[in-house]
């Protein structure tokens, strides 16, 4: 085993141990030993209701934390580095979110911005020229806090996300309000907000993608994303969708829609786009199932993702183009009623509790063959 493989195995085992330590479920020691021998942490037992006869149909936590990390190999960086991923999606620019720039150690570096820095002919200080012809000194042009404040003056909302982050961590949803700024659920004065931005390092300044009425109606207080897992079938030479869910935020998970933080996961019928009931992670002994949203009463079960056929086909087209990365968990926001969507980000080893709460992945023969070919099981 290479040093790189040993490193990732060690990191995976560390993640597995942390997941067990942080699990809110407390089965008996005898039950825990039964779970550990099969590669599961305690929380999975509460989500999956594991039994001897069916436990081998679930992808275990050990397989997820340790082995799925190896599937994409060195190309996993194409997903884990959000700026690189943004570049990978260049052929599908209309389907990706805008990235205005990156913050590094308090300075702003343009990515999709029209700002261009140059030297004055007489050797004077560098200036920036924006689309409207305004000229500023280099100090202003590269000051991250200033650039973010200016962008918020134009657009009211944006997202700051760590280049290397995942799982909804290290994400700041920023909103300009009358008396300052709202970041996630916290209020900031302008001075405090500028200080926050100035202290960030390797954060992307991203467009806030407005979700369409379908997603907003599910729960208006959070972005509500699709999680679509694609796998590349090397025998058929094509990508396929293994599974898909609609994630829906709640008062527990706000300002995000993460299942592990209390959001809902509703399975999507891959043929019709229809949602099943929404599962909510256990705050005790078992999963709660909701046919309507627990906070608003909005219907969940039976509603359909608008333009699902178009979304499914284009995600497959993008996944085929990225065949060198065979295992991808796509996060998608539906922005219109005709199949319009934006890819927010992608994951190289997506979490599986929000997926397998609806049933074991390995019960699908094509999915099992993929995991077997890639050495996961």
| DSSP 8-state symbol, 332 | E
pLDDT at residue 204 is higher than 90:
yes
| Residues in CB range of 238: below 8 A, 6 or more apart | 232, 316, 320
Could you tell me if 160 and 148 are in contact, meaning their C-beta atoms sit under 8 angstroms apart? yes
Q: Using pLDDT thresholds of 50, 70 and 90, give the confidence band for residue 113.
A: low
pLDDT at residue 134 is higher than 70:
no
Query: Out of 24-38, 70-84, 162-176, 204-218, which region has the weakest mean confidence (pLDDT)?
Result: 162-176
| pLDDT digits 0-9 by tens, 282-294 | 876 689 999 999 9
At 24 the pLDDT is: 80
Alpha carbons within 13 A on the beta-carbon side of 72: 23
At 139 the pLDDT is: 57
Taking residues 205-211, what's their average pLDDT?
A: 95
Q: Which range among 52-56, 130-134, 329-333 has the greatest average pLDDT?
A: 329-333
pLDDT at residue 35 is higher than 50:
yes
Neighbours of 325 (CB within 10 A): 22
Q: What's the order of all strands across the beta sheet hosting 186-188?
A: 107-110, 99-104, 203-207, 157-162, 171-177, 180-183, 186-188
At 6 the pLDDT is: 76
Exposure b/e, 162-201, CB count within 10 A at least 16 = b: bbebbebeebbbbebeeeebbbeeeebeeeebbebbbebe
Does the structural domain 90-95+212-373 have CATH classification 1.10.565.10? no
The pTM assigned to this predicted structure is 0.88
| pLDDT digits 0-9 by tens, 224-240 | 999 999 999 999 999 99
At 284 the pLDDT is: 64
290-296: list long-range contacts, CB under 8 Å, 24+ apart: 290/264, 293/218, 293/219, 293/248, 293/250, 293/264, 294/250, 294/264, 295/219, 295/250, 295/251, 296/219
At 361 the pLDDT is: 98
Q: Measured between alpha carbons, how far is 329 from 370 in angstroms, rounded to an integer?
A: 15
Q: Measured between alpha carbons, how far is 228 from 320 in angstroms, rounded to an integer?
A: 14
Reported residue count of the chain is: 377
pLDDT at residue 301 is higher than 60:
yes
The domain ranges of the chain are 3-70, 90-95+212-373, 99-207
pLDDT at residue 143 is higher than 60:
yes
Could you tell me if 85 and 345 are in contact, meaning their C-beta atoms sit under 8 angstroms apart? yes
Per cent of the chain over pLDDT 70 is: 89
Q: Using pLDDT thresholds of 50, 70 and 90, give the confidence band for residue 82.
A: very high
The two three-digit tokens of residue 107, written as one number: 């300075």
At 207 the pLDDT is: 94
At 17 the pLDDT is: 87
Q: Which range among 23-37, 130-144, 342-356 has the greatest average pLDDT?
A: 342-356
At 168 the pLDDT is: 61
| Residues in CB range of 337: below 8 A, 6 or more apart | 212, 213, 214, 306, 307
| pLDDT digits 0-9 by tens, 147-164 | 999 999 999 999 999 998
At 23 the pLDDT is: 83
């Amino acid at each position: 085993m290479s040093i790189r493989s040993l490193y990732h195995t060690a990191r995976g085992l560390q993640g597995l141990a942390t997941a067990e330590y942080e699990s809110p479920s407390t089965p008996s020691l005898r039950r825990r030993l039964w779970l550990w021998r099969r590669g599961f942490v305690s929380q999975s037992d509460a989500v999956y209701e594991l039994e001897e006869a069916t436990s081998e149909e679930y992808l275990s936590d050990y397989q997820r934390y340790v082995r799925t990390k190896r599937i994409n190999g060195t190309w996993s960086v194409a997903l884990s580095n959000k700026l690189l991923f943004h570049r990978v999606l260049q052929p599908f620019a209309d389907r990706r979110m805008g990235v205005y720039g990156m913050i590094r150690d308090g300075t702003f570096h343009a990515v999709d911005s029209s700002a261009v820095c140059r030297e004055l002919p007489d050797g004077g200080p560098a200036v920036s020229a924006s689309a409207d012809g305004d000229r500023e000194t280099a100090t202003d042009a590269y000051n991250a806090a200033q650039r973010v404040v200016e962008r918020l003056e134009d657009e009211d909302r944006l997202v700051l996300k760590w280049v290397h982050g995942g799982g909804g961590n290290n994400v700041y949803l920023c909103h300009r309000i009358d008396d300052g700024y709202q970041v996630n659920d916290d209020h900031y004065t302008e001075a405090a907000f500028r200080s926050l931005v100035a202290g960030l390092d390797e954060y992307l300044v991203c467009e806030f993608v407005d979700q369409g009425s379908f997603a907003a109606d599910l729960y208006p207080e959070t972005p509500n994303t699709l999680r679509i897992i694609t796998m590349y079938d090397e025998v058929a030479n094509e990508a396929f969708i293994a599974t898909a869910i609609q994630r829906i935020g709640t008062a527990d998970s706000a300002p995000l829609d993460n299942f592990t933080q209390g959001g809902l996961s509703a399975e999507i019928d891959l043929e019709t786009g229809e949602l099943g009931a929404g599962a909510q992670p256990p705050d005790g002994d078992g999963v709660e199932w909701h046919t309507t949203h627990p906070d608003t009463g909005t219907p969940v079960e039976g509603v359909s993702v608008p333009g699902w056929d178009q979304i499914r086909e284009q995600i497959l087209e993008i996944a085929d183009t990225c065949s060198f990365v065979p295992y991808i968990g796509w996060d998608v926001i539906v922005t219109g009623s005709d199949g319009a969507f934006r890819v927010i980000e992608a994951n190289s080893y997506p979490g599986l509790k929000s997926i397998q709460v609806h049933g074991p992945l390995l019960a699908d023969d094509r999915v099992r063959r993929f995991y077997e070919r890639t050495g996961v099981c």
